[in-house]
Amino acid sequence: MNITDRVAMITGGGSGIGHATALELANRGAKAVVLVDLSDNVHEVAKSINEEVGADIAAGFVGDVTCEKFRKDCFDQATDKYGIPRICVPAAGITRDALSVKLDKETGKANIYPKETFELVVNVNLVAPVYWALETVARIAEDRHKRGAGRWSPDEEPQGAIVLIGSVSSQGNKGQISYATTKAGLEGVASTLNKEAMYYGVRCAVIHPGFTDTPMVRAMGEEVIQEHVLPYTQLKRLIAPREIADAICFLVSNSAVSGELWADAGWHPPA
């Protein structure tokens, strides 16, 4: 699918992988990149992208991706200003790491990972990306109906592409019961959407990044990175966000690719 002249919706666009993806799509000729984030920083990021490409194509929206009204407003405003978003990368995500069950040896009591925390991570990392993806499919479906277009045919250009951000943790990672659950869940989302949304010409893929040099990973601390991450990657370094952005653009633009892409720097954690 052509990136050129397409409108892209990127959540988590104020930082890390979302920021790098927006910049890469802009450099590859996207008509507009709409960046969504909880943080006000998203406006600065949009400004810096506009300066880099020399055109007013990036816009920032501040809000919570789990809010349905905010999601619909973002799509309405983006569509009014630029056209229907046909590329969607819902990258906003959080970690809330802790052991699933931790025994307090003093009291003999086993503490279970808090359910509220689990639900928070599920809402941000799984439910929200699903609904930003569904909103993209819905807008494209409504547009096709309005134009009298029925089932998508291979004579047409692909109509849209969604790239969900999984993780190497989707295979299981100590201390990440909630995070790993959400990232594994995205695989079921993508394979279902691939079966359903192709009716409207929309593809869906998952990328599973390894440890990437973003604030999310830096928050783990240098010692953890040096001792528990780098020794288990073949590259022996963190992945650059632009390397993940490049792989995301590949998934968007190459319609022959379906399913999952592992961009993990050769991550082989110990058991």
Ligand X SMILES: NC(=O)c1ccc[n+]([C@@H]2O[C@H](COP(=O)([O-])OP(=O)(O)OC[C@H]3O[C@@H](n4cnc5c(N)ncnc54)[C@H](O)[C@@H]3O)[C@@H](O)[C@H]2O)c1
Which parts of this chain interact with ligand X (CB under 6 A)?
11-12, 14-18, 37-39, 64-66, 91-94, 124, 165, 167, 209, 211-212, 214-217
Q: Least separation, in Å, of the C-beta of 200 and ligand X?
A: 25
Pick the closer one to ligand X by CB: 67 or 257: 67
| φ and ψ at residue 156, rounded to 5 degrees | -90, 160
Residue by residue, DSSP assigns 117-184 as HHHHHHIIIIIHHHHHHHHHHHHHHHHHHHTT--S--TTSPP-EEEEEE--GGGG--TTBHHHHHHHH
Nearest 10 degrees: Cα torsion 84, 89, 92, 93: 150
Phi, psi of 258, rounded to the nearest 5 degrees: -130, 155
**How near is the Cβ of 22 to ligand X at its closest, in Å?**
11
Q: What share of the chain is helix, strand, coil (3-state, %, to 5)?
A: 45, 20, 35
Least separation in angstroms between CB 60 and ligand X: 11
Cβ distance to ligand X smaller for residue 60 or 160: 60
Give the residue at shortest CB distance from ligand X: 16
| 12 versus 201: smaller Cβ distance to ligand X | 12
State which residue, 141 or 206, has the beta carbon closest to ligand X: 206
Q: CB 189: neighbour CB atoms within 10 A?
A: 19
The residue (of 75 and 211) whose beta carbon lies closer to ligand X is 211
Task: Kindly state the smallest distance separating residue 100's Cβ from ligand X, in Å.
Answer: 19
Rounded least distance, CB 53 to ligand X, Å: 21
The CB-of-241 to ligand X minimum distance in angstroms stands at 7
Distance of closest approach, residue 118 Cβ to ligand X, in angstroms: 15
Decide whether 57 or 213 has the Cβ nearer to ligand X.
213
β-partners of residue 89 are 10
Q: Tell me which residue of 132, 257, 232 sits closest to 186, measured CA to CA.
A: 132
Which of 201, 241 has the CB closer to ligand X? Answer: 241
Q: Are 257 and 250 in contact (CB under 8 A)?
A: yes
Cα separation of 87 and 159, whole Å? 9
Cα(177)–Cα(59) distance, integer angstroms = 35
